[in-house]
Amino acid sequence: MPLKKSISGFRGTIGGKAGDNLTPEDIVSNVAGYGTWLLQSGARPLVVIGRDGRPSGPVVKALTVATLQSLGIDVIDCDYATTPTVEMAVVQHRAGGGIILSASHNPREYNALKLLNEQGEFISAAAGADLLAIVAAGDITYCPVDELGTVTPDPTALDHHIAAVLAHPLVDVEAIRAAEIRVVLDAVNSVGAISIPPLCAALGVTCEVMYGELNGQFGHGAEPLPENLTDLIARMRNSDADLGIAVDPDVDRLALVGPGGRWIGEEYTLAVVADYVLRHTPGPVVSNLSSSRTVADLAASYGQPYHAAAVGEVNVVEMMKSVGAVIGGEGNGGIIDPNLHYGRDSLIGLALVLSHLATSGQDINHLRDTYAHYEMIKDKLDVDANYDLNAAFRRVRTAFPGIPTNDVDGLKLDFPDGWVHLRASNTEPIVRIYAEAPSVARARELVASVKQEL
């Protein structure tokens, strides 16, 4: 994959020519740009870093740390850490920012630099634009030998994260312990293997781990989708466990599987959590334009407002803050609970799901049946740099006259019985095509009808 620079960070495959992929030169120049931006912003010259299990992690970390030190910036090194753990550690250490070394759901040959501000949140669009300008200009000044930054390991970041989850006012630790819940975890050979089991132990939950070796080899596709989780689904068919869970390599996405191997999925993770939160804390709910209508339906059933943000964690967080949301997230299994921190977090997501099961006395299959039934199709179209997306969107609009559209983020068409959302990916050279309808057949029909116009 060509090196992709965006406001959310820098991502690419390891190896190849400088400027084309995520090579050592690219890592150094982009980290130097981030460090320079941080210093110019007046933030404290202290950066927290952490990495997922990818085999390139040690090399990327070494280059990142040395570059920050060369700018006179001190580093807190969490080493193996989930994305939400690093986000919370930024605030805990009162750091000026953070860098997460993870390409999320992308395959093992990818890596990325995901950039945080002093709130432990992804940097804003305006800050990202300033940073990209610094990188493009290449006007970097390194510090003299006596001003080099220091490196301090932090082996306790996960402990602090778990303690904060246990202290959350809606996490019913006693009810979970009393319920004697059993879960099966697919940790996809990354940091979920060292973060979810300790949380389960603290909650008195029995946790069986699949793909638990922390080697970054990803025993299956890294994105928590049903086609990648066939082993977890099969295990749940033959297990007496109450819940199957899967996370992505940096543990900010959570997918659910019910007893008997029933696929609950990513889209309904936010629905389950929102249902539980709204029962105890009424207030606005936010998800993105590509998320299931189930969340909007739930908010309406509680008489609470629902808001749809552009896709991307930073956009959801900005809207959550603006409307005072009590819960939010994305339909990819990303739960954002403002009582903990403004970041997608599978640990608090799991704790709230378990609290819902324990206090309701219902299993996850029954809960799923209480929500509106929708089926979602997630497709894509590979494109190159010359693809005219705006012209493609105009063709789509022309093909469906009278259908309400939303162009806040790409193009969304709201049909009476479903919707289709088209948008350029922030992480890959593709156009994402998501559709939702009451049946798989109808969702596929919507995708096909739009895709032919693209």
Q: What is the mean pLDDT of residues 23-48?
A: 96
The pLDDT assigned to 269 comes to 97
Q: Residue 2: what pLDDT?
A: 66
Q: What is the pLDDT of residue 7?
A: 65
CA nearest 254: which of 239, 240, 241, 270?
Answer: 270
- Give the separation between CA 10 and CA 8, rounded to whole angstroms: 7
**Domain(s) of CATH 3.40.120.10: residues in the chain:** 4-155, 161-364
| CA distance readout (Å), 323 to 142, 278, 308 | 42, 15, 11
Tell me what the pLDDT averaged over the chain comes to: 95
Pick among 3.60.21.10, 3.40.50.300, 3.20.20.70, 3.30.310.50: CATH of 375-451: 3.30.310.50
With cut-offs at 50, 70 and 90, classify the pLDDT of residue 265.
confident
Mean pLDDT value of segment 37-55:
97
**Dist. CA 26–CA 16, nearest whole Å:** 11
Q: Which of 218, 222, 257 is nearest to 238 (CA)?
A: 257
- pLDDT given at position 442: 96
pLDDT at residue 419, as a whole number:
94
pLDDT at residue number 5: 78
- pLDDT, one tens digit per residue, over 55-96 is 999 999 999 999 999 999 999 999 999 999 999 999 999 999
Mean pLDDT over 183-194 rounds to 98
What is the per-residue pLDDT for 386? 83
- 0.85 exceeded by pTM: yes
**What sign does the CA torsion over 288, 293, 294, 300 have?**
positive
Question: What does the pLDDT look like over 312-370, one tens digit per residue?
Answer: 899 999 999 999 999 999 989 999 999 999 999 999 999 999 999 999 999 999 999 99
Range list for CATH 3.30.310.50 in the chain: 375-451
Q: What is the mean pLDDT of residues 20-41?
A: 96
* pLDDT of the residue at 427: 66
**Residue 9 pLDDT more than 90?**
no
The pLDDT tens digits of the residues spanning 373-386 come to 999 888 998 988 78
pLDDT at residue 151 greater than cutoff 70 = yes
pLDDT (mean) for 105-124? 95
What's the pLDDT at 19? 87
The pLDDT value recorded for residue 170 is 98
Report the CATH fold assignment for 4-155: Alpha-D-Glucose-1,6-Bisphosphate; Chain A, domain 3 (3.40.120)
Instruction: Give me the pLDDT at residue 146, please.
Output: 97
Q: What's the pLDDT band for 41 if we cut at 50, 70, 90?
A: very high
Is domain 161-364 in CATH 3.40.120.10, yes or no? Answer: yes
67-99 core/surface letters (b: 16 or more CB in 10 A; e: else): bbbbbbbbbbbbbbbbbbbbbbbbbbbebbbbb
